[in-house]
Structure formats: structure tokens, C-alpha cells
Structure 1
């Protein structure tokens, strides 16, 4: 007679005869000093916590700085952690709370399901919730829903606060444009960059277009912000930027209810603050540059005199595209 002996299945998240490879995920939503101190504390806590367990092996710490938790696509470290899980480098994840992991309910459930399918579980410390012990997703759905509502509430309060700062001109520009730096909440001129701004405006007034100005800057090996090459679009945007004459137009962009960023074409109120900071370019020079840019744009448009534009230079209009005829 046949005899069958059942051999119990090992837990999916724990390899046989080996330590559990445990990683931690941390996130702060702003890059302020207080938040970065919090991030440092989280890093130290998790590294010590994981290494103190003899049955665990430290698999790394993943953290995103100054990034909102509303969308997973905007968090590179979270996505890198998921890829490492799929590559079988991580067995278990520890994080502070559901809101630190994801404030979007859909993203939270999607990520948890993805990880559970490959045998990786998450422990949320604040909620004392281990996805490996869940009998259903109901509790996780409820808690992540609360996190999403919390995010929406915070967003509304922040938007209201920023709008008030726009109205009274007290809003601090955290990332000033090329030519300026943020010093104690004030926009201060960076002398060497200011000279480049003056050069760009001077060349514009001499009749050069954005592409010609950009080529000259690249030829002279003048570094752009973040070390990128200069482009025609970058130059035109700078020539159009009212901050160089000392003014600021607040709320050029806005975020919708789905946390997507849009250019403000009248959907939201805008506020114009005159003499907000020290200018690099005089108002007269700035005004002349706007007129030249507008005239050049009109001459290049399809509704303008195409023949006149094509005869501006010796080789203008001599080459046609075989696909579209342009």
C-alpha cells in the first residue's frame, strides 16, 4: 500500500537555509533641512534595526528626497527597489507607514499585489500591518484610502497657503532662474551668470535668433545650468522671463486634482509682482527684446509673408523636405 507524506511548503518570502534579505524604504516629501534630518534618522534607524536581527540580512536602504508620494512614477528609488525585488535581491521590505510608501490608493494596491506575486512582503510599522499575514486587501484598501485623503487635504491646505503668499508677494522662489541664487529666501544676482544673461539680451537686440545665440554659447563652452548644452528653446525662455527685469509672475503653472502639472492659460488666478528683486536687465532692454522676438515669430509663422521670410538670407528657402514640403 502506498504511503504519502506531506512536506509543508516553505514561506514564499524566506529562502531555505538562508537569511531573510530585508530592505527598507524611506521618503520625505520636501528637501527642507528638517525633512532631511528626518530622512537621516530613518536611514540610521532601519540600518541598525535590520542588522540587529541575526535572522535578517541587510539588503539595502532605498529613499527618495524632496519627492511627493502621490505618484510612483516620480520616485526613482521606489522603482529601483521594485526592480531589485523582481531580480530576486530582496525578500522583505520595511517602511514607516502606508503614507510613506504610497498616498495613491491605486498605486499602493498595485505595488503590494505585484510584490506578493513574486513572494515579497511589506511591513508597515505605524499600522503594524504585514502584507504576508493579510487574509484580504480590505484593511489595506481602507488604510491606503485614508492616506490618499490625507494627501488631498494637505494639498488643498498647501495650495491655499501658497495662493495667499502669491497675493501678498511673500512667496519664496525656491529655485530661481539662471543668473540668480536663493540666499535666505531672497533672489540674489550671481555676477558671472548675470554677465551671460546680459550677453544673451545684447545679441538678441543685435538681430540674432535663439539658435544662433545658443550655438555661440556652446562654442564658447559656457556651461548652462546643470551642465546641459544651450538650446534655442532655453534661450527664448530666458528672453521671455520677466524675472530678469526684476518682476515675478506667480502661478505660471498649476497642479490638477490628479496631481498633473499644467501651464496656466487662465484656468487659475495669476499675480504679477513688480520690483520683486534686483533686476539684471533694464525694463527698456527687456521691452525691446520682446518686440523683436514677437516680430521674428510672426515672420516665421505660416500666416506671414512666406516669400519675404524665405528671402531673408542667401540660402533661405532653398531646401525642401521630401516628406512634408516644408
Structure 2
């Protein structure tokens, strides 16, 4: 049986019908307008733009209003920061808009990549963007090239403005002009003279934070204590966080100084703040305002932070690979394995309903005997008694102990001055060289080249003397800090009880530097200042 051959039926196009349908349906037209800052004169421009587009859309019988989208006081270098712009894009994807009107490419976006991305996305949806100033319709064939050129000019303008603003800020820093963000500075407000003014009730909290940290409390413990006491942070953001507490403890403004350019923005497009670790110069203004804590206490907190970071031990369970600072037990950061050098960790064993508290090497806990083969497990009670016995042995002759510790600390931490010239000698010689330079300058008016060698000798000596002067000043600063540490250690010992009968976490933190496990039966207790006492463990 013969099958019928396939037939092709041509359905003619009806362009007239399509045009008539489109003509019958009004185009849904939206407008996007934006001004870059919140200045009053530009705010007027913002209102004028809204009024202009409303009138333009509503007076055209072929159009219907799809919304006026406007961002005020928002940067144009990142579309994601422009809330109304992103809302307009969502409406486009929901097929609520057919055409978008905007004043110019620079008003739409100053980021060329963002501009082209959204133009192409809207083009795929069949949505036209009409730029009035450049007379560009994004659905036309040559529109992308013209938009790219206009967008590049707009981005270049933003780069130039950003560079000018950055240059101005850095010149202000060099001149010592300070700009402080009081909204995020706990404990201070802007005074009538424009300088930072202490808020008494908040200042007390700041001093308490510094004291608690120096007595061994961790940031988490401090946070929990603040919450238990019902202390609020800022009015609009009352919750305390670990990062906020750390920021207060690290901020030099609390001792009266201001350090500028701690962060910078390398890329003006994404505006991500990068920590300045030496890429750019920083500017420190000392004694800028009244501090809440003393400079000595601030320095002590920074040293304690550095010590805690250095004392962290490897841990395979930690996300960073390093165990965090544990403040609940003083031995958590002082008990060291004599075999592998890793810290010990407190563990609670339960057998037949009975609990046993022991200390074990972290390496043995995490990796078995792979790296540490013979480190002993120590019961807590005999270990604590051995450490107390070592402390009491040392405290038997407190005056002698204080003298030994201060002598050891002086030998270890006070810098050796060196050099034969005093600071006064250097200043006098620099003044003499300056006079010689000025005299030589007057002689060299007619023939400077003839005096080039003499100029070089004077400048070289000035440079050398200035370096020596900087070294002496830095040395004096270090010596003052070292003397303070010696005084603090001596004061701690002076206030300590001559005989310690009960385990005291705070006393151990203040008196003991490290405890090294030599064997199951012996430990080496090193006191602050370097004195070491070997002590038997009695079971």
C-alpha cells in the first residue's frame, strides 16, 4: 500500500497584525535616576529627575508607568549597592517592564563590567534601555560599542575622582589632621572643641576590659561576663561580640594616640578594605587626646595578645590548625611536654561512674605515638601540689627571689645602649653641620659644582647622626617598657602570699612562666624572670 507523500503548508507572515497588537498594548516604561551624593543641591536634581520622568511617561499615550526607580547618595561603581537598581532588574526578570529610560550611561553605572552585564541580560529579555544624553537604544546593533565607550569614560572619571579624594586624605594625614568615626568608637564622643571626649560610664567598662584581659580572661569569657552583668555596647547595636572586644583591646585611641591609614582600598570598584601591613606608610599621632587607659597598660595588653598567639599549639581538630587560647585553666597555656614541646590538655576520664581528671600531651591525643612516644599522663591533683611546692620553695626567701628575678629580667630584656655620643652631643653636632651647610651654600652661589664633595660630606654625616638619634630614642622607649615589666614582676611577687596552701589559677598565671614535664615523677617549674625549679611529683 502506497503511503501519502508529506505535505508542506506555508503559513504567511502577518506583520501588520503583529504591529497592530503591539500598538494596541501600551509599553510598560520605567525610569532609573540617581545622584552620587547626599548634598542638598544634588537632592534637588534627584527630585527634578523623578518629576521629569513621571511627566514624560504619563504624557505619552503609547506608554504606561512601570515605576520610577531612584537611588540617592549611593556609589555608582557597584550595582549591588544600589537597592532600587537591583529592584528594577528583578521587575525586568519578572516581565513587568518593557523599556527603561535613563539620563546617561554614567547614571546607569560607572562600572563598565556591570554596565555591559546588565545591558546584555536585559537585551536577552527583549528589554530596551534608552540613554537620552547619548541617544542610544540598547536593542540597536551598534549600541554595545557606543555603551562600552561611554561606560569607559564614566569609569575613568570615577577613578580620577577617587584618586583625588585619596590624595587629599593622605596629605591631611601627613599634616596630622585626624578624622575619627565616633559612631564605632566605644567610650568616646565628639566634644565641643572637636576633640574626643571621654564618656565616663563607658570608660569604666573599657578599663575593666583591659584589667580582665591582663588577669588571664579570654575574649569569650569577657563577653559572657558582660552579658551576665547586662552591660550594653552601643544603643543601636547593644550586643557584645568577640571582634568588638578585640577591637577595643587593640585600638591605640584608648591610650590617647591615633594611628592613621591602618587599612586602605586598592580597588575603587569593589572598595574592599585591605589591612595595611607595610604596603603604605602609616601616621601615628601620640598624645592626641586624653586616654582612658595608661600607655603602659595598653602596651601590656598588646604583649599579652602576642604571647597568647605565640603559645598556641597545633591541633588537627581546629579549623585553623592551631588550638585557641584557653583561659579557664592556667596550665592550659603553661604545661609543656618535655619530649615534643607540645602543650598539655586537660581531660576528664570516667570509669565505673568515677571521674578522673588528667593532663595529656596534645600530640599524643591527636596522633597517638606517631610523633610523641613517651609523654606521661599526669593526674591533676599531684601535679598541682608539685607546682605549689616549687612556688613555696621559691617564696621561702621572697626578698632574695625578687632580687634574682629582677636581675635576670634586666640581663634578658633591657637593651644595651652602645655608642659613645649622647643625645645632646648629636643635637649639638647637627646644629654645627647645619651652620656649615648654610655657610657653604652662600659660597657656592656662583659655582655649586666646585663644592659638591663638601656638600656630600656634610649630608652623609647628618644622615648618620639622624639614624643614631632615632636609634637612641627607640632604645630609650624600649628601656622604659622593660623597666615597667621588671617593676610589675617585682610588685606581683611582693604582693604574693609567702606560703600558698591552695591552688589559685590567678596566682599561677602571675608567677609561673612554664611547667615542663620531665617525666612521670618530675617537673621543671620556670618562674617569671627565668628562674627554674625542678620538683618531684608525689603520688
Aligned pair in 2 of structure 1 residues 28, 286: CA closer, same or farther (>3 Å)?
farther
Which has the higher relative contact order, 1 or 2, with Cα contacts under 8 A spaced 6 or more apart? 1
Cα separation, 2, equivalents of 1:41 and 1:316: 76
Gaps of 5+ in 1: none
Which of the numbers 157, 160, 173 marks the counterpart of 1:150? 157
Aligned pair in 2 of structure 1 residues 313, 253: CA closer, same or farther (>3 Å)?
farther
The match for 1:24 is: 31
CA contact (8 A) 1:178 1:193 kept: no
Which of the numbers 275, 280, 300 marks the counterpart of 2:287? 275
CA contact (8 A) 2:112 2:151 kept: yes
Cα drift, residue 182 of structure 1: 5.4
CA contact (8 A) 1:162 1:171 kept: no
Cα separation, 1, equivalents of 2:17 and 2:286: 71
Question: Could you give the per-residue CA deviations for residues 15-72 of structure 1, whole angstroms, max 9, x where no partner exists?
Answer: 7744433333334444556655654554455445544555444433434454432233
Which of the numbers 127, 138, 144 marks the counterpart of 1:137? 144
The match for 2:12 is: 4
Question: Could you give the per-residue CA deviations for residues 130-166 of structure 1, whole angstroms, max 9, x where no partner exists?
Answer: 3245544221111111111111111211111111011
Cα separation, 1, equivalents of 2:277 and 2:93: 42
CA contact (8 A) 1:29 1:65 kept: yes
Structure showing greater radius of gyration is 2
The match for 1:89 is: 96
The match for 1:116 is: 123
Aligned pair in 2 of structure 1 residues 241, 40: CA closer, same or farther (>3 Å)?
farther
The match for 1:107 is: 114
CA contact (8 A) 1:176 1:187 kept: no
Alignment of 1:52-201 (within 5 A): 52-133=59-140, 135-174=142-181, 176-179=183-186, 180-181=188-189, 187-190=196-199, 193-201=202-210
Cα separation, 1, equivalents of 2:189 and 2:22: 52
* SS at 2:185 equivalent: coil
Cα separation, 1, equivalents of 2:110 and 2:359: 54
The match for 1:230 is: 240
The match for 2:400 is: none
Cα separation, 2, equivalents of 1:285 and 1:78: 50
The match for 1:206 is: 215
The two structures, once aligned, show a CA RMSD in angstroms of 3.9
Cα drift, residue 119 of structure 1: 1.9
Cα separation, 2, equivalents of 1:59 and 1:135: 27
Cα separation, 1, equivalents of 2:359 and 2:87: 49
Cα separation, 2, equivalents of 1:38 and 1:189: 41
Cα separation, 1, equivalents of 2:148 and 2:99: 20
Report the structure, 1 or 2, having the larger helix content. Answer: 2
Aligned pair in 2 of structure 1 residues 310, 111: CA closer, same or farther (>3 Å)?
same
Q: Number of matched residues?
A: 322
How does the TM-score come out when normalised to structure 1? 0.79
* SS at 1:227 equivalent: coil
Greater Cα shift, 89-98 or 242-251: 89-98
Cα separation, 1, equivalents of 2:285 and 2:258: 5
* SS at 2:66 equivalent: strand
Aligned pair in 2 of structure 1 residues 231, 257: CA closer, same or farther (>3 Å)?
closer
Question: Could you give the per-residue CA deviations for residues 226-273 of structure 1, whole angstroms, max 9, x where no partner exists?
Answer: 527422232112210112223221111122246453211111121112
Gaps of 5+ in 2: 1-8, 315-321, 323-332, 338-342, 349-356, 368-539
Greater Cα shift, 196-205 or 31-40: 31-40
Aligned pair in 2 of structure 1 residues 194, 65: CA closer, same or farther (>3 Å)?
farther
How does the TM-score come out when normalised to structure 2? 0.51
CA contact (8 A) 1:98 1:144 kept: yes
Which of the numbers 232, 235, 255 marks the counterpart of 1:245? 255
Cα separation, 2, equivalents of 1:89 and 1:305: 67
Aligned pair in 2 of structure 1 residues 139, 181: CA closer, same or farther (>3 Å)?
farther
